[in-house]
Amino acid sequence: MNRRDLLLLAAGTTMVRRIAAAEVEARRIGFIQVGSRQDNQSLLDSFRDQLSALGWSDGSNIAILDRWAEDHTERLPGIVKELIGAGADILVTAGTPATLAAKRASASVPIVFVGVDDPIALGVVESLAKPRGNATGLSLSSSDLITKRLQLLLELLPSLNRLAVIVRRDPGLEQKLRDIRSDAARMGIEPLMLEAPTGTGLRLAFARLRGEGCEAVYVASGPLGPAKRAQLVALAAASRLPAIYSFRIFPEDGGLMSFGADYRELFRRAAGYADKILKGARPSDLPIEQPTKFALVINLKTAKTLDLTIPPSLLARADEVIE
């Protein structure tokens, strides 16, 4: 072998080693959403953009493996198992069902969760200040949000007396129902709890609430898939009753109004947790944080179809008005 061949061989070996090193150095982040990519792409984009601002480039020094359960929570254990098998260094979980699935699957793979109502009661962490296990992230103060949504309904309907509450059988439901009952009673509102985990359940719930004299609807379930969400919005419109939701995608799809945490902001902050863990921090040492940014969204077109006049004070506080 001549000198030229030796140089080419050495250069090729060096290049292979560099490629292999880059592959080893690329950290894998499993991103798990219960919903669909179509509805939640902006959340993944917020997470990815903030990671980029912190020096992490998807496809270069990190690989984000995003998986979507499409509103089928039964798929979550399989998704988590797949991501752990693919060598995920961190699991980023959106919502309670995905977080519980990750927690049950591993006590060692770091978990950064977003939007878990009460991580202590659910056994995800031991305390907000010192999580101690392999999970940390951003929780929701469910009770405070419930209070605010009920106050918004009262501002819209000052004489509100009877309220239909639509729920599905999600983890942490019992505490949420206790909070709704407690807050409603304090405000002089009588809640009618209606569990509707299926499309048939939704139709039966709306048939009952009309007969029970309910004057408004509080949808306490998550964002749901596109089909169920469209069905729920259509049933609320047919009932001729104002409805408030937890996620802005509902008024964007024709619901009356929503109030909740700004999830794009939460996922930007989740990227900060991921950055610290990738740089050596332990989840057990990173305190749980709460949302700091909230959004009130009102669909004025829907209000007009319901012959509702939205108080000017309410419109003035809205972060987005859909006309």
Q: What is the 3-state secondary structure (H, E, C) of 17-65?
A: HHHHHHHHHCEEEEEEECCCHHHHHHHHHHHHHHHHHCCCCECCCEEEE
What's the predicted TM-score (pTM) here?
Answer: 0.85
More confident residue, 71 or 160: 160
Q: Residue 227 burial (CB < 10 Å; 0-12/13-18/19+)?
A: exposed
Average pLDDT over residues 215-224: 84
What the block records as the tokens of 234 is 């259509």
The confidence score (pLDDT) of residue 174 equals 78
- Tokens 């990750």 sit at which residue? 102
What is Dmax (Cα atoms) for the chain?
Answer: 94
More confident residue, 61 or 173: 61
CATH class given for the domain over 142-261+295-322: alpha beta
The confidence score (pLDDT) of residue 12 equals 55
> With bands split at pLDDT 50, 70 and 90, how would you rate the model's confidence at 204?
very high
The confidence score (pLDDT) of residue 38 equals 86
- Phi (first) and psi of residue 24, to 5 degrees: -70, -40
The confidence score (pLDDT) of residue 188 equals 95
> With bands split at pLDDT 50, 70 and 90, how would you rate the model's confidence at 21?
very low
CATH class given for the domain over 3-140+262-292: alpha beta
The mean pLDDT value of the chain amounts to: 90
Average pLDDT over residues 192-220: 91
Q: Where does CATH 3.40.50.2300 sit in the chain?
A: 3-140+262-292, 142-261+295-322
User: Minimum mean pLDDT among 151-165, 199-213, 292-306: which range?
Assistant: 199-213
